[in-house]
Amino acid sequence: MHEVLAELAHEPAPRALLVNEIRAALDHARARMVRDGTPAPDIAAEVRSSLAALRTPSLRRVINATGVVLHTNLGRAPLPSASPAGLYSNLEYDLATGRRGKRDVHTGALLKRLLGAPAIAVNNNAAAVYLALRALAANGEVIVSRGELIEIGDGFRIPDIMACSGAHLVEVGTTNRTRIDDYAAAINERTRLLMIVHPSNFHMSGFTGKPAREELVALGRKHGLPVYEDLGSGCLIDLSAHGIAEPRVQEALAAGVDIVSFSGDKLLSGPQAGLLAGRDDLIARLRRDPMYRALRLDKLVLAALERALRATLLDGWDDLPALRMIRLTPDDLRPRADRLAAQLGGQVIAGESVIGGGSTPEQTLPTWLVALPGDAMKWEERLRQGEPPVIARIDQDRLVLDLRTTGPEEDAELARALQIAAVGG
């Protein structure tokens, strides 16, 4: 211990940290020697390596060349830089009156203009679903079609979130077909909500059927029950011209749905957030629930969400990277693909990009891919471990790059990363 400490005396690290890292390296070395009979390693070198890793941020920028626009593992919607100016901000301070304000005013007015209804934001859409069920249906029953009991990712399922909220699930219909009479037959004195869950992360076809929104709204009105729809992907603009068919939040509210929830980091193209919009009295109940404070957004997320909403309201599509990527045509991408392929001896081939992030299943966007010659696995590993890391995909045993999800400003950096990886081979 003392010898290694002396060797690392000039290492810029607190002594307590050095001691802990040396102790951990010694323990690992002893364990390996006993287990495998390996010789003692250079402990000082191992400690220097571990300290270098500690100084390197774990959350790092990567170049996404996969063609998956809303890549769940890469942070979903890419964000423009956005943060409040200066060291402080008017997060909960009303500049007009000089009194304490509410943090959701920074997004509330924009959402009201976009949706025509009051809205609040929490830290993700699972939290939004939980808050809606807890505040509106705790100790009561919520009727949902059996075909809409989806898993939203990483093992989180609608029935599980409902159980945590204190609401009781009532399944109606079958996996592939549910009728309005199924909902009507399940209504009783304990019913609190009729719930619709948009299956944004899968598609079901064939002998299927479900009631229209308007039918459920009419049934809810007849029995004095709110209709709640979880839309998931958070589409606020018409993307049909770009081959994307996804229900818009405004359409659900216009059809009479009483409250909707949706994500901020999918087709809204903002940060991770869950948004809830609808009837004044229902939104007021959500706001009063004690869990609302526990689930609310911090100032950095609010700043990014405000920017995304403002760009959406003002048709500033190019200010939102995800929407800019979705709107790119193959003709926009071909010149960049040709240049990169020429630099690397690659081949430009037709391919498809996907939206991803649990949105628009089975809907793709035509693109041009740069296919690289050589060992795809080696290419992928070297690029992933480079600086900055480049994340690509392997298709038919070839490494391919889709420039839809890389910005033109990244082209030179991407080319350098590829040249370095090629030399490594």
Domains assigned to the chain? 2-54 (no CATH), 63-75+322-424 (3.90.1150.180), 93-316 (3.40.640.10)
pLDDT of residue 311: 92
Give the residue ranges of the chain where pLDDT is below 50.
none
pLDDT of residue 37: 79
Instruction: Look up the pTM and report it.
Output: 0.87
pLDDT of residue 202: 63
pLDDT of residue 152: 67
Q: Which pLDDT tens digit goes with each residue over 153-172?
A: 666 788 888 889 999 999 99
Q: Which pLDDT tens digit goes with each residue over 382-398?
A: 999 998 999 999 998 99
SS3 of the chain: CHHHHHHCCCCCCCHHHHHHHHHHHHHHHHHHHHHHCCCCCCHHHHHHHHHHHHHCCCCCCCEECCCECCCHHHCCCCCCCCCCCCCCCCCCEECCCCEECCCCHHHHHHHHHHHCCCEEEECCHHHHHHHHHHHHHCCCEEEEEHHHCCEEECCEEHHHHHHHHCCEEEEECCCCECCHHHHHHHCCCCEEEEEEECCCCCCCCCCCECCCHHHHHHHHHHHCCCEEEEEECCECCCCHHHCCCCCEHHHHHHCCCCEEEEECCCCCCCCCCEEEEECHHHHHHHHHCHHHHHHCCCHHHHHHHHHHHHHHHCCCHHHCHHHHHHHCCHHHHHHHHHHHHHHHCCEEEEEEEEEECCEEEEEEEEEEEEEECCCHHHHHHHHHCCCCCEECEEECCEEEEEHHHCCHHHHHHHHHHHHHHHHHC
